[in-house]
Structure 1
Amino acid sequence: MPPTSASSTPSRGELPIIQATMDLIQWFVPLLNRLPRDHRFALGDRLIQGLYDLLEGLVAARYATAKLERLEPLNARLDLLRLQIRLLHSFHLIDDRRYEHVFRLLEEVGRQLGGWISQQRRQCPTTAPA
């Protein structure tokens, strides 16, 4: 299911990873808001908060002098989001098609984040990985 209201092309001056994260949020948050009440206020809210934290971290990294310090913790955030989405699927709260789609969106963000981190490590080789 493609994003409905978001374009996949970055807005003028927007980093592709930020646009990809916004596309993910715009597609996934409405679905999370329709979860059954007992899951919406536990897992759903955690996922939504995690997505917004990820977006906030990416924007902060964009403007930070020490980008690597901002980017590396976002890998852990992505891993947690992946695990939480797996839980949604294992609880049968999202079907296979939506699960595969959200994972593709999340993997695209992860691929871009990994590339950004690698690029920053090449620019600052004296910084030891965390």
Structure 2
Amino acid sequence: MPKKEELAILQKAYDMIEYGYVALRQYPKSEKHTLAAETKRSMYDLMRLIIRANKRFHKKTTFQDIDIELENLRYLIRLGNGLGFLPFKKYENWSRKLNEVGRMLGGWMKSMK
């Protein structure tokens, strides 16, 4: 995959994280050091793994790690919505951005086979 496309997935992840930060502001203070912090950590880990995959020659295990982190983040966001911390519209938009990153990852993985 050309470098330009690899950077595109990183930019999409970056945009998703920016949106996530805005959405996490709505979480109650009691969740600031628990679910909100865990969600932020997951977003950072996702970005770090995308950068790592971009730099590595053998990418297969890193792709798997990104896929796992994407799924973890999906569940954290879903939990925030289920507990009433995240309005459905924000949940929907955030999930859409996350799914776009997932689709780009799938294309990147396919291109490397």
Q: What's the TM-score, normalizing by structure 2?
A: 0.90
The residue number in structure 2 matching 1:119 is 111
Q: Cα offset for 1:34?
A: 4.0
Say whether 1:69 aligns with 2:64: no
The residue number in structure 2 matching 1:29 is 21
Choose the corresponding residue for 1:60, options 52, 60, 66: 52
Q: Cα offset for 1:103?
A: 0.5
Q: Which runs of 5+ in 2 are unaligned?
A: none
Say whether 1:95 aligns with 2:92: no
Say whether 1:80 aligns with 2:72: yes
Q: Cα offset for 1:19?
A: 0.3
For the residues of structure 1 that align with 2:78 and 2:6, how far apart are their CA atoms? 29
Asked whether the equivalents of residues 34 and 40 of structure 1 are also in contact (C-alpha less than 8 Å), the reply is no
- In terms of mean alpha carbon deviation, does 12-21 or 48-57 score higher? 12-21
Asked whether the equivalents of residues 81 and 88 of structure 2 are also in contact (C-alpha less than 8 Å), the reply is yes
Q: Cα offset for 1:89?
A: 0.5
Q: What's the TM-score, normalizing by structure 1?
A: 0.79
Letter in 2 for 1:48: K
Write out the 4+ residue segments of structure 1 that deviate beyond 2 Å after TM superposition. none
Asked whether the equivalents of residues 20 and 108 of structure 1 are also in contact (C-alpha less than 8 Å), the reply is yes
Please list the CA deviations of residues 33-77 of structure 1 after superposition, one character each: whole Å capped at 9, or x if unmatched: 442122121110011010011001101110101112211111111
Say whether 1:19 aligns with 2:15: no
Asked whether the equivalents of residues 24 and 106 of structure 1 are also in contact (C-alpha less than 8 Å), the reply is yes
Give aligned-pair identity as a percent: 29
Aligned to 2:32, what secondary structure does the other structure show? helix
Root-mean-square deviation (Å): 1.6
**Which structure has the larger Rg?**
1
